Amino acid sequence: MLRKKAGILILIFIFMLVIVGCDTTSDEPENQKVAIVNGEPILQTELNEMIDEVKGYYMQQGMDLDAQENNEVLEQLKHQVLQEMIQEKIILEEVQKKNLTVDNEFIKTNIDQLKNQLGVESDEEFNQQLDAHGTDREEIEKQLETQYLVDKYYDLNIEQPQVSDEEVKQVYNMLKEEHGDEVGTLEEETSHIKSMIQQQEFEQQKQVFMQELMEENEVEILL
């Protein structure tokens, strides 16, 4: 399951690379605590960095989150991003307890795919591209390692959903009704539909699992 997520990760990091010139406009002190997880703080500056990435994404879609009419959306996103940061911090603490390690082949595969996406071959060209966009290989690998460990922890603690043929057929009929001839035969679409259902159910299980994990840890939100 981890390897299937490699393509998604590559898209995430390409998105990170094209974020240029996003500056945090918050007037709040950067060392201000926005949350405390098991005694460990999450600082305003850390939250600001993540918010800048979100702003950059929305800007690419033609939506300026700094515009006054989007203030409510931005506030909601701040809380959502902070919640995700808290969850990641808790999981990484659990990862340390279980001594989970990173598969170096996974990192290498993703780096190679990113090189291909950027149209570079040598490490020197790759590093230059990263440097030009305000990041470096160490940061990219760190993000990949974090994502790998988080996914590995989930995979170890959440059972892979089983999808019946009847469920696949129901979704297929729904898609066929909505999109007509754009949808292939049941045989052609079964694998894709099954993966889609599994992912949806897995995400639902993750939410329940994460809520239980949050309740087992000391979390104080100060934002």
Please give the pLDDT value at position 110: 92
- Percent of the chain scoring above 90 in pLDDT: 70
Inter-residue contact 54 to 76 (CB < 8 Å): no
Which DSSP symbol is given to 2? T
Distance CA 219, CA 212 (A): 12
Least confident of 15-24, 84-93, 95-104, 204-213: 15-24
Which ranges in 39-122 belong to alpha helices (H)?
44-60, 71-97, 104-118
- Percent of the chain scoring above 70 in pLDDT: 87
Backbone angles phi, psi at 43, to 5 degrees: -90, 160
pLDDT in tens, 68-90: 999 999 999 999 999 999 999 99
Q: What is the mean pLDDT of the chain?
A: 86
Please give the pLDDT value at position 29: 65
Task: Give the Cα-Cα-Cα angle 93, 6, 189 (nearest 5 degrees).
Answer: 125
Q: How far is CA 49 from CA 64, 76, 82, 186, in A?
A: 17, 16, 11, 45
pLDDT in tens, 156-187: 999 999 999 999 999 999 999 999 999 999 99
Please give the pLDDT value at position 28: 58
Gyration radius of the chain's alpha carbons = 20
Instruction: State pTM to two decimals.
Output: 0.74
Please give the pLDDT value at position 5: 47
The angle, 0 to 180 degrees and rounded to 10, between the axes of the packed helices 137-157 and 6-17 is 150
pLDDT in tens, 136-145: 899 899 989 9
Please give the pLDDT value at position 15: 47
Q: Which domains does the chain have, with CATH numbers?
A: 3-157 (1.10.4030.10), 163-218 (no CATH)
Distance CA 219, CA 35 (A): 7
Please give the pLDDT value at position 129: 86
